[in-house]
Amino acid sequence: MAGLAPGTVRGYRARGEGLLPDPQLVLGGRALWSRPVAADWVEARERSAAGIGEVLATSPDNPMPRGIAALFDRLTEEYTHYFWGVPKRRRWWVIGQRNKEQVTAVARDLALFVVNDLDRIAGMDNQRDTLFYALRDQLRRGERLRPSSDWIMIAGPVARNLDWLIAHNPARARSLVGEVVGEADRSPELQLSRGTIARTLRECLRVSGTLPAEVYDGFFERALPAGLDNTTAQTD
């Protein structure tokens, strides 16, 4: 299938992932699709929650979003120190004939429990909705950086919250970006084009974000409506 290695497609089919279309032809036990059908499926998948997740994944072997993986590592380190790094607590484990590796395994389990429940702990839906209203307010109140600029300045705390959501919950960040860009149509009083809003989101992360530029590029290619995915800010 265009854009994906055969082994990847076989993996999707074996695991029932990816919502593959029905094969148009089966030849010698191999499923085949026409190039247009394959291209449409690849584009749809890249723009799906799974496609966004792959862009933000820590590595091909670790599907955790980068922010979640960093939180998991930090919690593991802190729990390990709490249980093993303080002598009076270390005695609890030594009496139970546990060594540091076993204590670290317990710390990892606790850290995994926390990150798996982060949606509830952090109130992700509320975070996403609050960020939408903050971004919309910034677009309504914001001023152009300079007369020749075609993007709006976004306050640092708002931009950093967008960066946090992308790193920790890319699927919700994708829906947020689509809704914010849609304000160009829903709120004509803004007098902002979809392209200007898209460039604004890109630029605020370039200035205030913490992720590599290529990660943002991959995210926006999948999160922005078709035709806006290669939009960049203009400079003089």
User: Domain for residue 56, yes or no?
Assistant: no
Task: Specify the pTM.
Answer: 0.74
pLDDT digits (tens, 9 = 90+) for 65-97: 999 999 999 999 999 999 999 888 888 888 778
Question: Are residue 34 and residue 100 in the same domain, yes or no?
Answer: no
Task: Flag whether 234 is in a domain.
Answer: no
Residues 79 and 128 grouped into a single domain: no
Query: Which tokens hold the place of 205?
Result: 């992360």
Burial 34-46 (b: 16+ CB within 10 A, else e): eeebbeebbeebb
Q: Is 134 among the domain residues?
A: yes
Does residue 208 share a domain with residue 163? yes
The whole-angstrom separation of Cα 24 and Cα 100 is 55
Distance CA 20, CA 17 (A): 8
Summarize pLDDT for 19-43 with one digit per residue, the tens: 555 665 566 666 655 555 444 444 4
How many domains are contained in the chain? 3
Domain span at 169: 124-223
173-190 pLDDT, tens per residue? Answer: 998 999 999 998 888 888
